[in-house]
Structure 1
């Protein structure tokens, strides 16, 4: 019955990383979407960065969170997979069990792609999860002053305006390329969703893989960008919503985004715990005139979810909007085909 409903629902590919991606994926799963997640592999901080350097694997953190968001295993098993060792545990300090399992399975299978597919079966994942590439990538940033830095975790610390970013494999003797099945998923999709997530360090690292970015530009699917609610320290300080879109278009050399989802809900003054969420600054300012010059369609609504003294996208409201947009596009295509 579920598979039958999926056949009638849109094929949606979501590209990104960070904490925003699982929120959207969880909402898509609840609506029985035919969903594929393409996950960044340029993270080099925290547990992921340590395992990446120590075991020479693709950073597992974002992959772990995506697997959990699409999993149908009992919540207690998810909690075990997500459990992070205490900082007093020395050797295991800061590592989550899921990261260690992904690292072990990558070594067992000699392939991050095969490891994820096996884990997807074990965790009863409802959808497809693919790494953006099958090797760890290094994210490089060139700043407006001409200086350059390498490493995703170092970029924001510079507090400089970013001119552009690009990626290279750790072994710089070849070009980065998309993981198997990624390009086919993008070309076969009804909709490709970017974000929500850090513009320069969660979304663009995927699009900077040449064949992946080319596929997003060429797909017949509608491309939707979910704009961030807050500006980010060292990345998008003083950015408007139009600035976010403009950066994406400049990096790919084409105005490829069809629709932007913009939050217009107001974050209450002094609501956020600025120590806990210290990377977020102020709400993204609106520039609807600038957006209209970049994209054909803008959807604005109160997409806010306030919890734990933090600001998040309301996954249910965002996904309802994505589904409505996908079905409207499908009806339009049918009408045009007559």
Structure 2
């Protein structure tokens, strides 16, 4: 709800399909305005993989640019994976014409004040997924819990 957004200390955007999951929420005027006007830290968690027909060839900064465009404002922090994937995962995604999202730090630091690039993917899975424990520790460092 809009009230929850206004009271939040941290607003987390993502991960999720950029144009079919995340951006539709930002198209709701009251929602986007509430996020934009909130005093909360706005954190964008970048996808691990591109999606064919949606984000072909996107680097992390391209995802951030789209979030900024549809939000009508900027996020305070972006979190991007730099971990490697096992060959089976890469093969599965290559068959779907998807590839790992590259963390282009130089462009990211021009877009977002706080850039975190860490190994965040599960290593022994068949799918590209964020490791939930690593992600929580990255979003909320121990000194903040």
Q: TM-score, normalised by structure 2?
A: 0.90
Superposition RMSD on alpha carbons, in Å?
Answer: 2.1
Aligned counterpart, 2:123: 306
Q: Residue by residue, what CA displacement relative to the aligned partner does 1:144-187 show, whole Å, maximum 9, x if unpaired?
A: xxxxxxxxxxxxxxxxxxxxxxxxxxxxxxxxxxxxxx110001
TM-aligned CA deviation for residue 307 of structure 1: 4.0
Segments of structure 2 that go 5 or more residues without pairing to the other structure are none
Aligned counterpart, 1:269: 87
Instruction: Provide the rounded CA distance (Å) in 1 between the counterparts of 2:125 and 2:92.
Output: 12
Change (3 A) 1:305 1:253: same
Q: In the TM superposition, what are the counterparts of 1:127-276 in structure 2 within 5 Å?
A: 182-254=1-73, 256-272=74-90, 274=92
TM-aligned CA deviation for residue 304 of structure 1: 1.1
Residues 42 and 75, structure 2, Cα contact 8 Å, conserved in 1: yes
Aligned counterpart, 1:289: 106
Instruction: Provide the rounded CA distance (Å) in 2 between the counterparts of 1:310 and 1:321.
Output: 21
Instruction: Provide the rounded CA distance (Å) in 1 between the counterparts of 2:96 and 2:143.
Output: 33
TM-aligned CA deviation for residue 212 of structure 1: 0.1
Higher normalized contact order (CA 8 Å, seq sep 6+, divided by chain length): 2
Instruction: Provide the rounded CA distance (Å) in 1 between the counterparts of 2:68 and 2:37.
Output: 13
Q: Residue by residue, what CA displacement relative to the aligned partner does 1:10-34 show, whole Å, maximum 9, x if unpaired?
A: xxxxxxxxxxxxxxxxxxxxxxxxx
Q: Looking at CA atoms only, which structure, 1 or 2, has the larger radius of gyration?
A: 1
Residues 81 and 103, structure 2, Cα contact 8 Å, conserved in 1: no
Instruction: Provide the rounded CA distance (Å) in 2 between the counterparts of 1:190 and 1:299.
Output: 19
Residues 231 and 238, structure 1, Cα contact 8 Å, conserved in 2: yes
> Which deviates more, 259-268 or 219-228?
259-268
Count residues in correspondence.
145
TM-aligned CA deviation for residue 322 of structure 1: 1.5
Residues 88 and 126, structure 2, Cα contact 8 Å, conserved in 1: no
Aligned counterpart, 1:164: none
Instruction: Provide the rounded CA distance (Å) in 2 between the counterparts of 1:274 and 1:253.
Output: 35
Segments of structure 1 that go 5 or more residues without pairing to the other structure are 1-181, 329-338
Residues 240 and 286, structure 1, Cα contact 8 Å, conserved in 2: yes
Instruction: Provide the rounded CA distance (Å) in 2 between the counterparts of 1:209 and 1:248.
Output: 14
Instruction: Provide the rounded CA distance (Å) in 2 between the counterparts of 1:325 and 1:217.
Output: 27
TM-aligned CA deviation for residue 314 of structure 1: 0.4
